[in-house]
Amino acid sequence: MKYVDEFRSPELISKAGEEIRKLADPKQHYRIMEVCGGHTHAIYRFGLKDLLPENVELIHGPGCPVCVLPMGRIDDGLALAAEPNFIFAAFGDMMRVPGTHGSPLEYKARGMDVRIVYSPSDALKLARNNPEKHVMFFAIGFETTAPSTALTLVRAKAEGLRNFSVFCNHVTIIPAIRAILDSPDMRLDGFVGPGHVSTVIGCRPYDWIAKDEGKPVVVSGFEPLDILQSIVMLLRQLRNGEAKVENQYKRVVPWEGNSAALRAMAEVFELRPYFEWRGLGFISQSALKIRASYAEWDSEQRFIVPGVRVTDPKAAQCGEVLKGVLKPAQCKLFGRECTPEQPVGALMVSSEGSCAAYYNYEHRKPVTIASSMAV
């Protein structure tokens, strides 16, 4: 398949693996964080750890929107949708995420009108086709999905569509990275930068990580070769004692980002003073809210939101795992009380969550695998 197979080429990948082994100083231990949940998923999905030397360790970052969403927000959204004639619309990613009394899918099984949509504009279509109902789009995601929510709101306003609103949970990536770097128990050597987010925000917003924190950042694609090449680029910078922002994912990410997308976001959203992140706590200016000029289409401004706050179960060590301090399997609940089917913590819910990715693809793996086929 074009644009996929090239990036899974065994020859190129084995070359990249060799290069990594050459660049990694055996006397050093490298801790590299991949910020984005998409990368975490890809690393496990493609078994990339099999290709890395032991002293190159990948630490999973906070870039999984479902994982960092506090349970109270889900409870709030589902409480609103319990009103008669409400349709709760969300991405498939949200459907299995548990609220206090169940996930959207479980609410659907009990009779709530819950719909999976593939884009916010599909939710808008639902509203047009169901004028007697109110369609609430439960928006999640970083800057990757925020522009399409923004454009949908612009269109809803232009059409004067009154039976549509957005319950906005959009968050921004930079404050989360800052929170990680501010964490005292964290030692990182560099970052594999988020690919899709950077398509929108570009590479400049990471400058401070290189300049002020002295850590290299390489914005990366999601195929095995992309990720390995990004690790090569990071190791090269580290060997040369450099710290700069580089773009491995040039075929998709423009250095300056996508100005049309950024304009749409600026038109519709403003920063919240603070927002709660699951596992990380409250982070100031880390999330988006809908501007007053779009209040009519903002579920939070239009309806009375219960404002539920749920503390994470004490035994679950999601915060430590989310910050990369603990490995998924080091959490006391991992694989016992907490599994993808019956998740206790959020990282077990999304397939991009490091616990779910580790559980699904890695934790029962034998130590050595011969990959040749003898038929």
Partner 1 sequence: MATPAAKIRFREPQIEMAHGAGGKASRRLVEGLFAPLLFGASPGPLGDAAHIQINGTRIAMTTDSFVVKPLRFPGGSIGELAINGTVNDLAVSGARAEAIVVTFVLEAGLPTEILEAEVRAMGEAAEKAGVRIAGGDTKVVEHGAADKMYISTTGIGRLLTGVEISPQSVQNGDKVLLSGPIGDHGITILLARGDLDLEADLRSDTRSVFPLVDKLVQAAGAGVRWMRDPTRGGVATSLNELARDCGHGIVLFEEKIPIRDSVRGACELLGLDPLHIANEGQFLAIVSSEHAERALETLRATPGGEEAALIGEVREQPASCVLVTALYGGSRIVDMLVGDPLPRIC
Residues lying near partner 1 in the complex (CB under 8 A): 1, 4, 8-10, 13-14, 17, 44-48, 50-51, 65-66, 91-93, 95-96, 105-106, 108-110, 116-119, 122, 140-142, 144-145, 224, 340-341, 350-352, 360-366, 369, 371, 373-375
Which pair of structure tokens corresponds to residue 329? 């399997």
Smallest separation, CB 196 to partner 1 (Å): 9
Please compute, for residue 14, the number of CA atoms within 13 A of its CA located in the half-sphere on the CB side. Answer: 2
Which pair of structure tokens corresponds to residue 10? 């065994």
- CA-nearest of 311, 343, 362 to 64 is 343
Nearer to partner 1, 10 or 160 (CB): 10
Smallest separation, CB 272 to partner 1 (Å): 19
Smallest separation, CB 371 to partner 1 (Å): 4
Smallest separation, CB 50 to partner 1 (Å): 5
* Helix axes of 224-239 and 10-23: crossing angle, nearest 10 degrees: 20
Nearer to partner 1, 196 or 215 (CB): 196
The DSSP string of 288-344 is EEE-GGGGGGBHHHHS-------PPPTT--HHHHHTTSS-GGGSTTBTTTB-SSS-S
Smallest separation, CB 249 to partner 1 (Å): 16
Nearer to partner 1, 171 or 331 (CB): 171
Nearer to partner 1, 122 or 296 (CB): 122
Nearer to partner 1, 16 or 262 (CB): 16
Nearer to partner 1, 285 or 339 (CB): 339
Smallest separation, CB 6 to partner 1 (Å): 12
Q: In the chain, where does DSSP find H-type helix? A: 10-23, 37-45, 71-81, 104-109, 120-129, 146-159, 173-182, 195-201, 207-211, 224-239, 259-268, 299-302, 318-322, 354-361
Beta strand 274-277 pairing with 281-284: antiparallel
* Residue entry with tokens 């450099």: 242
